[in-house]
Structure 1
Amino acid sequence: MSFDYDLFVIGGGSGGVRAARIAAAEHGARVALAEEYRMGGTCVIRGCVPKKLMVYASGMPGAVEEARAYGWDAQIGGFDWTAFRAKLDAELTRLEKIYRAGQQNAGVTVYDQRATVAGPHEVRLADGQVVTTKHILVATGGRPFVPDFPGREHVLTSNEIFQLPELPKRLLIVGGGYIACEFAGIMAGLGVQVTQINRSALLRGFDAECRDLIVAQMQAHGIAIHTGIVIDRIEKTDAGLKIHGSDLRDDTFDAVLYATGRVPYTEGLGLAEAGVELAENGAVKVDDWSQTNIPSIYAVGDVTDRIQLTPVAIREGHAFADTVFGAMPRKVDHDLVASAVFTQPEFGTVGLSEEAARERGPIEVYVSAFRPMRSSFAGADDRVLMKLVVCKETQRVLGCHIVAPDAGEMIQMVAIAIKMGATKAQFDATCAVHPTMAEELVTMRKPVRHA
């Protein structure tokens, strides 16, 4: 059978564009890609990139305050959200053009419209056109989840937060995951009065000792945190958005941001109708090769709900293209993937938490908690935590967790050693770089506890 394309990619995010480019440019496939919004996906347009730039912006008042402590006659005025947003929009447009140019230079045909699966070898475009393809790759990512309740139409999600016409004076953030905590720090740093609520503890799933320190530091920086609270409804009034079902002292806010998780974006894609198996939350079920139960249909990235991280999606997309079109079959290793949470303080983590490791067998825990030199000299109470979780029997380092400025930069390097199977003795044999925060990772000689 003759097809219009060898590969049709649905979704122009990190995983989709990598798969399309590699398949076309390196393996000679005839490739098309459809994106209904903007090229670059969640990470570039409404996720990692704009969020990190907002983290930088929110840290400037603290930097100026620190500069004064170091003897500089430094002052800071008000924050111009309109000017920042205009520059942010220009940067995202620049990055989108780079993504688009990469596809065009690789020979990929780009459709700027929604596409859905019409069958194992057919894709229907929003304009009604149906094209045939030997393989389909679903790379539509995820979307913010907001539960059903009266007044949900009044809330923001992480999709809209970057497009606010002006910053609210009082912001309620609902959620306890890393996205909620990151935006709490960002908005507080930009001068917004932030309240964060969640039905349970914040940063669940991460190492408990680290998350406790992060939450304490967030509170010290002026973020009001309340747990055990569930919102029943939100009412729009002249004074703002009134929250019902909570015991907050001030239950009226100018804006409410829901950061209550993300779900795979598969609704209305025609996958179930084509026979593709989906998980209960809508995720596309795939095997180790990113292949669905329909042999011609594959999926990569957040839509599969394996590990929701941009670098993982990129690797999955690249491996798919090499396997299907390059005669270089390879699977993506999802074990020991490092990540960074851009809270303030920053959090870098790789491997098992102390709680998860304890369930697998006897461990030793090494911890160093201290005021770093930079903060201490400036008279700030910020604290740093370095933690190694070690298997008692093999002495292999099972996990490393860092709460500190630039923790993401440090954990990237540590992840290489842990991925290679480094032992505690090998950490100890590495000479320290002094004076640095990271030197604590190789100078912790005695465990603080066994479990």
Structure 2
Amino acid sequence: MKIPYFLLELDQTEDGRGLEGALSELTSEPDEPVVFVRRSQLGGYGATLKAYQDGSLQKLLKMNGLEDFPGPYDYDLIIIGGGSGGLAAAKATAKFNKKVMVLDYVTPTPQGTRWGLGGTCVNVGCIPKKLMHQAALLGQALKDSRDYGWNVNEKVKHDWEKMTEAVQNHIGSLNWGYRVALREKRVTYENAYGQFIGPHRVKTTNNKGKERIYTAERFLVATGERPRYLGIPGDKEYCISSDDIFSLPYCPGKTLVVGASYVALECAGFLAGFGLDVTVMVRSILLRGFDQEMAQKIGEHMEEHGIKFIKQFVPIKVEQIEAGTPGRLRVVAKSTRSDETIEGEYNTVLLAIGRDSCTRNLGLETVGVMINEKTGKIPVTDEEQTNVPYIYAIGDILEGKVELTPVAIQAGRLLAQRLYGGSTVLCDYENVPTTVFTPLEYGSCGLSEEKAIHKFGEENIEVYHSYFWPLEWTIPSRDNNKCYAKIICNIKDNERVVGFHLLGPNAGEVTQGFAAALKCGLTKQQLDNTIGIHPVCAEVFTTLSVTKRSGGSILQAGC
């Protein structure tokens, strides 16, 4: 009948036994499900079917004041969030001839920045980040080219406005492409903010304040995260975030990057690559959650290439000295170890201190969806189902899951196939590869050295490692013994590789291939039996012979 209902799965619900006891006091019905209509017990499957066939169910609905009942659901699935995960789920669901709606709305940043359909990755994340990283690499390539015989006579200068225009034009084409793809698959797209107002119901509000109400059999929450602010005087008034930097209409000039996340280091890296004066202010450690040896080497490389670091300090006030594009700002910071304070002047302050889940203003409490009150994250089952059976969630808002775009895409596609295609395949959140696009790229898959020691014990892991020097860098004679490779092996499991780490050019391309091998249970012996391609950086993993435990030298004299 496609009538909105609430389903309580006793074996999946917190305090299910207690609820089962309460249910047994209400009814002696032995069949499942036990159906109630507006507090009136109908019975089990047989009784419900009989009531439908003889028309008494329809009468019961009307007797309970549902003369104005809206009828069938408006949609089979409503997705709140038009990022990579939400769009992937929408398109996959549409293949099963289901009626799908996508709600997507970008709340402008404090600086007024907003963007189109596609979510963080496309608009203010992976895509513009990689393009600006590439722009910085081209600057280095121009310097190297002179040593290879290219006569670059005129002084090379970077044009920020031209770059951002090109990047935003590409993003605009992607936004349009997503809208066309949804239209072709007959997915309804509404640029409006979605909020739950009751079981199976959402209210949408567009940028003109117009409200509408829709119903659906199921919902998917895929709202992602947005940058966090410091909560100090002047932060929202004068600072920008990664939501602003990629479309900034002017060159940021002398920049202070606050934070030690991968976003902070990536932005600092490409800004320095354009020749800007860049300082990174770090509260504690670099790249928390990543392998700390790799993080330290990234920081050292960035410092050697002119990026300044202020460690164990946090800003406590940002003041505007002079307005402009860019203007001038004064930053007052306090030590995390003492009462010492310092001041500095910058043209731009970029905050990259972390991100918060966009879950607190969705009306989730109205329909009983539990969230972690501290983090805003949503706990889900292995099927990405929340504690409310008809509501699912994917992406960065999940508690305890990897926060990466391809993970959300995979989870969205697999969820659609399970809900509507009869599949039982779950999203695998283990051994997910990733890359940090700092000037010296860092690719990883599997466990960090710290996590491997914690999981298996230091005596049960073997770490093989080596420095290497890319052949392309030998002619310009730069960065010898800066690129680094290591694998972490579980001794008790035939030296299976449980951690893969690479610091060097094209780390993402290299790591993607090895990630497939890790999925297949790659061992050190299999790596040793693999013949390398010469001369490429990735071949170093086929010749690793020195262990950390041995203390042997891993410095390379040449390529």
TM-score normalised over the length of structure 2: 0.78
Tell me which residue corresponds to 1:43.
121
Tell me which residue corresponds to 2:263.
179
| Aligned equivalents of 1:190, 1:249: Cα separation in 2 | 27
Secondary structure of 1:385's aligned partner: strand
How far is 1:370 from its partner?
A: 2.8
1:17 maps to which of 65, 87, 91 = 87
Q: Which amino acid is the alignment partner of residue 32 of structure 1?
A: M
1:421 maps to which of 521, 532, 543 = 521
Aligned positions, number: 450
1:146 maps to which of 229, 234, 249 = 229
2:355 maps to which of 262, 274, 284 = 262
1:99 maps to which of 178, 184, 205 = 178
1:110 maps to which of 189, 207, 217 = 189
Secondary structure of 2:241's aligned partner: coil
Work out whether 1:433 is the aligned partner of 2:533.
Answer: yes
Q: Deviations over 1:15-34 (max 9, x none)?
A: 1011111111x211111111
Of all paired residues, the percent bearing the same amino acid is 38
Work out whether 1:299 is the aligned partner of 2:393.
Answer: yes
Work out whether 1:7 is the aligned partner of 2:105.
Answer: no
The two structures, once aligned, show a CA RMSD in angstroms of 1.6
Tell me which residue corresponds to 1:283.
377
Deviates more, 1:245-254 or 1:153-162: 245-254
Cα–Cα, structure 1 residues 123 and 249, in superposed 2: closer, same or farther, change >3 Å? Answer: closer
Tell me which residue corresponds to 1:352.
447
How far is 1:377 from its partner?
A: 2.0
Deviates more, 1:7-16 or 1:376-385: 376-385
Residues 441 and 503, structure 2, Cα contact 8 Å, conserved in 1:
yes
2:101 maps to which of 8, 13, 32 = 32
| Aligned equivalents of 1:237, 1:273: Cα separation in 2 | 46
Tell me which residue corresponds to 1:218.
302
How far is 1:92 from its partner?
A: 0.5
Q: Deviations over 1:126-165 (max 9, x none)?
A: 0211011000111111110112111112111100111212
Tell me which residue corresponds to 2:59.
none
Q: Which amino acid is the alignment partner of residue 152 of structure 1?
A: D
Tell me which residue corresponds to 2:134.
56
| Aligned equivalents of 1:338, 1:103: Cα separation in 2 | 29
| Aligned equivalents of 2:309, 2:545: Cα separation in 1 | 36
| Aligned equivalents of 1:262, 1:346: Cα separation in 2 | 22
Secondary structure of 2:371's aligned partner: coil
| Aligned equivalents of 1:131, 1:276: Cα separation in 2 | 18
Q: Which amino acid is the alignment partner of residue 386 of structure 2?
A: T
1:337 maps to which of 432, 440, 465 = 432
Work out whether 1:381 is the aligned partner of 2:459.
Answer: no
Deviates more, 1:400-409 or 1:107-116: 107-116
Secondary structure of 1:163's aligned partner: coil
Residues 375 and 381, structure 1, Cα contact 8 Å, conserved in 2:
yes
Q: Which amino acid is the alignment partner of residue 526 of structure 2?
A: Q
How far is 1:282 from its partner?
A: 0.8
Secondary structure of 1:430's aligned partner: coil
Residues 452 and 498, structure 2, Cα contact 8 Å, conserved in 1:
yes
Q: Which amino acid is the alignment partner of residue 274 of structure 1?
A: V
Secondary structure of 1:350's aligned partner: strand
How far is 1:445 from its partner?
A: 2.4
Residues 120 and 294, structure 1, Cα contact 8 Å, conserved in 2:
no
Residues 198 and 227, structure 1, Cα contact 8 Å, conserved in 2:
yes
Tell me which residue corresponds to 1:273.
366
Residues 194 and 223, structure 1, Cα contact 8 Å, conserved in 2:
yes
| Aligned equivalents of 2:199, 2:550: Cα separation in 1 | 54
2:243 maps to which of 159, 171, 186 = 159
**Where does structure 2 lack aligned partners over 5 or more consecutive residues?**
4-71, 107-115, 335-339, 552-559
Work out whether 1:128 is the aligned partner of 2:216.
Answer: no
Q: Which amino acid is the alignment partner of residue 389 of structure 1?
A: I
Secondary structure of 1:268's aligned partner: coil
Secondary structure of 1:377's aligned partner: coil
| Aligned equivalents of 2:73, 2:253: Cα separation in 1 | 56
Residues 90 and 187, structure 2, Cα contact 8 Å, conserved in 1:
yes
